[in-house]
Structure 1
Amino acid sequence: MIDYATLYAKQVTDGEIIACKKVRQACERHLNDLQRSKSDEFPYEYTPQKTEKVIKFLEMLPDVSTGKPTKLALFQKFIVGSLYGWRDKETGYRRFTKAYISMARKGGKSILVAGIALYELLFGEAPKFDRQIYATANSREQAGTVFEKMIKAQLNKIREQSPAIRKITKVKNNEILHTSSNSLIKALSRDTKNHDSLNVLIGILDEYHTASNTQMMEVLESSQGQQDQGLIIIISTAGFQLNGPMYSIEYPYVTDILSGRKENDNYFAIVYEMDDEEEVSDESLWIKSNPLLGVDSISKKFYKYLRRKLKEAQDKNDINPTLVKNFNIWKSASSESLINGEDWKRCAVEEPPDIRGKEVYVGIDMSRVDDLTAVSWIYPLNDKEERYFIDSHSFVGTKYGLDNKIQRDKIDYRKLAEEGFCTITDKKSGTINQKQIIEYIQNHVNENDLIVKAILFDPHNIQLLLNELEDFTQIEVGQKATQLSRPTKNFQYLVYDKKMLHANNPLLTIAVNNALTVHINDLIRIDKDKNREKIDPIAAAITAHYEAMHHYTDNVDQDYYANYNFSL
C-alpha cells in the first residue's frame, strides 16, 4: 500500500513539487503531526489504510463528460488521505471536523466534492443510519448547480454502470436517497425553509467566497451537535468579497493555523495560491495555484488555456477577474479600489506599537446623525523607516434599531462594541451622541499622554465637537479632490510600501475594502457619492493624513507620490 499523503508531503517539503507557502506549511504540519502522534499526549494517529477504499471509490467515478474513470492527482490524494487517514486514537473517528480547501478554477475540486458526498452516502461508517449530506451555497441556484452538475451527474453515471448501486439509491429532483440506511444528499441554501430538523454529517460549502455572512456556516455547525465525526468542507476559489466571511474570517484563521500562530488540531487547511501577484509572469510558478499542472496528461492543455486567459485579460486591461479565478488571488471587485486587499494585509502587525506619549494626527468624519461616525488616529512611529501606525474608532447610530442595522450592514456592531472597536449611541432617539465622541477623544488622549498635532475634520455637521475640543489645533479639510488627492495618493504609497501599519481593526479594514476612488483629471479622492458601503473610518484617516503626510517631509520625496498614480 502506498501512503500517498505522506509521499506528497515529502515531495513538497523536499522541493520536488513547486508549492506556495501555505501548501508547504500544510505538508510540514502533516509530517510534524506524524512525529507528534508517537507521543501518548497527542490524541490522534495516522492510519493510511483508512484512505484506500475512499481513493479507490473516487477513482471509479466517471467523468461526467467522457464517462471514463478519472485518476486522482497526488495532491488530491493528499487531501483525501488527510481527511480520512487521521483518526482519534480513542474512538477511531475522523480527526478533522472542518476543512478549508482553496485553489484556482478548474483545479480538481469537483471530483472531491462529488466523491466525498457520494462515498459518505453509500459507505459512511458512522452514523449507520440517517447520514445527512448537504451541498450548500450562498443561493438556491448555486446550491442546485453543485447538486445537479456535480453530485447527481456523477451518481447517474454510476447507476448506468452498476445495477447494484441503482438498486439501493433513488434520485429525485432535489435529493438523492440511500434507501437501506435512510440517508440522503440534498441541496441546501440560505433560502431553504426550516433548517431546524437538520442533523448534518457532511456539509459542503461550495464557492464560499460569494457568501456575504456566516448564516449558512452557522446552520451547518449548529446541527452537528450529535454527530461523532461531522465534517464541514469549505471548497472554493478566491473571490472579490473582501468583507465576506471567507476572506475576513476563515482565510486569516487558516493562515494562522498553518503558520503555527494558532492551534486547532481539528481544522484541516490547504490553500493553493500565488505567493505574490508578480509570480503570475512566471509560468513555472503557476502550479502554485493550479496543482493540476503537475499532472503530465493534462498539463499541456491546461497551460495553453491559462496562457489564453491571461493574454486576453491583459489585452482588455481587465486582469483582476483572471487573477482571482485562474490564479486564486483575492482582489477587490473594482479596479478603482483605494487599496489592494493584499497590500493592506501585508501592513498588519500582530501587536500594536506602544502609543503612549506619541504624537498623533486625529481625523474625524461625521456621518448622518443616525448612521456611523469615525475618529481615526495616525501615529508617526519616528523610526528609521519613517512608518506610521493607524487605528480608528466608530460611533454607531441606531435610529431604526440596532438589530436592523446589524442585519442591514452585515456588521456585528454589538460584538465589535464589546471588543472596543466602536461605541453604540446611548440616545433613545438612536442618533449619534456627539458628547460620546468628545469624551472618547479626550479620554484616549489623556490615558495615553498623546501629543495631538492637529484635529482634522470634514466641516459637515461638526461644530459642537469643535467647540468642546478647542484646546487642540483644528484644521478644516475640504472634501474636494484638490485637497484630498495628495493625502490619498500618499496614503496609497505608504500602504504599498508597508509603511502604514495597522492591527487588523475590523471596521477600518471593512472600510478599506469598501473604498473606491474617483478620478478628476490627475486628481483622486474617495468616492463618497456612489459608495453606499461603510467607508467612514478610512475617510477619517485620509482627512487626518492631510497633515500627517508632512510629518517626515525632510525625508520623503513628495514629488514622487504627488505625481504617481497609486490607485490600485
Structure 2
Amino acid sequence: MDYAKEYAEKVVNGDRIAGQKVILAAKRYLNDLQKQADDDFPYFYDQERANKVISFMELLPDPKTMRAYPLADFQRFIIANLYGWWRKDDPSKRRFRKGMLSMARKNGKSILISGVALYEFLFGKSPEFSRQIFCTANDRKQANIVFTMIKKRLNALRAFDQGTKKGTKITRDEISNLDDYSYVRSLSRDTGTVDGFEPHVGILDEYAASRTIEMMELLESGQALLDNSLILIISTAGFDLNAPMHTIEYPYATKILNGKVEDDTYFAYIAEQDSLVEVDDREMWIKSNPILSVPALHDQVYGYLDKRWTEAKQKGTKNSVLVKNYNMWRQAEEDSYMDIDAWNRAEVGPENIDGQRVWIGIDVGKSSDLFAISWLVPKDGYWYADAYAFVATKYGLDAKIKADRLDYRRLQAMGQCEISKLESGVIDVERVYAWLDDFVTSHSLDVQAICFDPAQYGPLMTQIEKGHPEWEQISIRQGTLSLSMPTKQFRDDVLDKRVRHSGNEVLTGAMANAVLQSDNNGVRINKNKYSNKIDAADALLDAYAVCFREDLDNYLTDDDVLSDDFGF
C-alpha cells in the first residue's frame, strides 16, 4: 500500500483537513511521483522500501505503555518520504538529506524520530559500519530526551529478541551496535568535543530554542565526507523570532514548499494553524495537531486543547498556548508593537535605491552595545526600508550574540552588520561615518535629512558637519508627544504595505522585540525594554517621524517641474 499517496490525496482533495504548508508538501509528493518517469528527474520512489521502515516502526513499543501501535497517517507520510525516495544513479543513496518536522507539542515528533534513529542504528547500510547517530539540542537535558526514548525502546526490543540483545550494548552515555561498531549518543553545546565526529544521522531537537547556528554547523561540517547522511530538525514553534529556526530554516523550508526555492534534498512537513481566527474553530485544530486523525486519541486531545485554550483566554496567556499547542510563531509580549506576520508580508527583498532621495535615521547605542542606521527611500506608492548595524564586542561577541538573540557573525557575512575590529571592542565612530559616507556616495543618494536621537550623538554629528555640511541633521525628541503619531502611522502603513522592507534581519529582529508604552500624550516604543535589541527600529522611526508627511502619490521631482508637460 502506498501510504504516502493515500495521505497526500486525502489532504489535497480536502478529505483530511490540513494547513497550507502540509497541503503543499502533499502536492510536492504527488507531483514528484509523476516526474519520476522523466529521464531528467534524478530520483525514484520505492514503495516497498518505504513500507519496510514503516513496518519496523510499528513493531517498536511506545516507551510509556511498552505496547506497539500503528503509525498515524501523517507519520507514515513522513517516513515514506524519507525512506521511499532514492537516487536513480545510486539506489543506495537517499534523496532527502535534510528534513524539518514541525508541529504542536504532544504530536509524536520525538517518538517518531527515535524510530528513525533506531532503524539507522540497527539496519543502516550506507555506510555499512561505524554509523554515528547524534541526538542534539541547545542543552544537555533537551538532547537527552530523544536519546532516552531510544534507550527505552531498544531495551524493550532486547527483552524479546535475543539477537538484538546480543548485538547491542546500552550504557548511560552511549548505545552501541556490537556487530558493526555503530553508536548513538546525545550531544549539546556543553558536551565537549567528540573524536572522529562524522554524524551519519544528526537529530536537532526543539531547534526553536537554539539561539545560534552552532549545532547545525557542527553537524553539517561533520558530514562533509559522508555521501548518505541525514539531518532532521524537529521542533514546535517558539517565541524567539530571532532564533535561526525562524530566520533561516523555517523560511527556507517554506520557500521550498511554495516553489520559490528548488531543493530536492530537503523534506519539510510543517503542521501549523494558518491564522489566529481559526484557533476558535475546533475542526481546524488538526492543522497543527495532526495526531487528531487517530480515533483512539481524538477525545483526549480535543479535551486537552479545549481546556488549554479556554484557560489561556481567561488568564491572558494566549501567546504561550498558540506557540506550544497550535504551532504558531508569536512574539513573547502580548503588547508587541508590530504584528510580525504583517511585517513579513511587507518584505520585498533588496531593491535598487541608486539616485533616490533618502531619509536616514540613526540611533546611537552605548559604545559597548549597538549602533544602528536605518533609512527610508520613497518608491512608487510606498516607502522602502532597510538598515545596517555596528556591533560592539567589549564584553565578548558570544555573550552579545546570546543576549541579543542575533547571530552577528552570520549577519556580518550577509552584509547586514559590521562587528567592531577595535581591540577594545567598542564601536569606532570614525568607521561609522566612513561607512555612511561610502553608502551615500556609492548609491548616489540625495540625503533629505539625518534624523537622530540626540543621546550620545555628538561625536558623529561633528564628523558629519565637517564632511557633509549640506546634510541636514534633525534632532528627534524622544517622547510620546513627538513620536506618537508617526509610531502609530508607521504600523498602519506596514499593514497597508505603504511601508515595505528588504528583509534585513537586524531590522526585523528589532521590530519583533519592540514593545509599546503609553502615557497621557500617546504611545511610543519602550526604549527601556530589550534595550539595544530595538535600535534599528528606533532609528527607522526617527527617520519616519520626519518623512511620513511627504506625499508619496503626488511628489514632484526636478525633472517633473522642468518637463514640457508641467504647468499650473
Q: Provide TM-score, normalisation by structure 1.
A: 0.90
State the partner residue of 1:565. none
Question: How far apart are the structure 2 equivalents of 1:376 and 1:429?
Answer: 25
Question: How far apart are the structure 1 equivalents of 2:182 and 2:421?
Answer: 51
State the partner residue of 1:59. 58
Deviations 1:286-341 (A, max 9, x none): 21111112222222221221111111100001100110011110012222333233
Question: How far apart are the structure 1 equivalents of 2:429 and 2:274?
Answer: 45
State the partner residue of 1:305. 304
Contact 2:60 2:153 in 1 (8 A): yes
State the partner residue of 1:136. 136
Deviations 1:463-514 (A, max 9, x none): 3443244423332112233333332222222333433211111221222233
State the partner residue of 1:293. 292
Q: Mark the CA change 1:103 to 1:367 in structure 2 (over 3 Å): closer, same or farther.
A: same
How much does 1:399 deviate? 5.0
**2:17 matched to 1:18?**
yes
Deviations 1:328-379 (A, max 9, x none): 1001222233323322211111352x43454432211112234321221122
Question: How far apart are the structure 1 equivalents of 2:209 and 2:414?
Answer: 27
Q: Mark the CA change 1:21 to 1:370 in structure 2 (over 3 Å): closer, same or farther.
A: same
Matches within 5 A, 1:396-545: 396-397=391-392, 399=394, 411=406, 413=408, 416-417=411-412, 419-424=414-419, 430-466=425-461, 467-468=465-466, 469-520=468-519, 523-545=522-544
State the partner residue of 2:345. 346
Q: Per the alignment, in what secondary structure is the counterpart of residue 395 of structure 1?
A: strand
How much does 1:49 deviate? 0.8
State the partner residue of 2:324. 325
State the partner residue of 1:392. 387
Question: How far apart are the structure 1 equivalents of 2:413 and 2:234?
Answer: 32
Identity in percent: 44
Matches within 5 A, 1:40-189: 40-92=39-91, 93-148=93-148, 150-189=149-188
Matches within 5 A, 1:377-388: 377-383=375-381, 387-388=382-383
Contact 1:97 1:231 in 2 (8 A): yes
**2:214 matched to 1:219?**
no
Deviations 1:221-270 (A, max 9, x none): 22223333111100111011211111111111111111111111111111
Contact 1:330 1:342 in 2 (8 A): no
State the partner residue of 1:560. none
For structure 1, the residue ranges without an aligned partner over 5 or more in a row are: 556-568
Question: How far apart are the structure 1 equivalents of 2:414 and 2:176?
Answer: 46
State the partner residue of 2:562. none
For structure 2, the residue ranges without an aligned partner over 5 or more in a row are: 555-568
Question: How far apart are the structure 2 equivalents of 1:553 and 1:268?
Answer: 43
Mean alpha-carbon deviation: is it higher for 313-322 or for 136-145?
136-145
**2:360 matched to 1:362?**
yes
Question: How far apart are the structure 2 equivalents of 1:181 and 1:449?
Answer: 64
Deviations 1:382-407 (A, max 9, x none): 52xxx321111223445567788667
Q: Aligned AA for 1:378?
A: L
Deviations 1:167-190 (A, max 9, x none): 322222122222222222221111
Question: How far apart are the structure 1 equivalents of 2:133 and 2:428?
Answer: 49
Q: Per the alignment, in what secondary structure is the counterpart of residue 300 of structure 2?
A: helix
How much does 1:163 deviate? 3.6
Q: Aligned AA for 1:458?
A: D
Mean alpha-carbon deviation: is it higher for 65-74 or for 307-316?
65-74
Q: Mark the CA change 1:461 to 1:533 in structure 2 (over 3 Å): closer, same or farther.
A: closer
Deviations 1:131-183 (A, max 9, x none): 221111110111122222x2222222333333443332222212222222222
Deviations 1:43-92 (A, max 9, x none): 21111111122111111122222232111111111100000000011221
Question: How far apart are the structure 2 equivalents of 1:308 and 1:444?
Answer: 55
How much does 1:113 deviate? 1.4
Matches within 5 A, 1:141-290: 141-148=141-148, 150-290=149-289
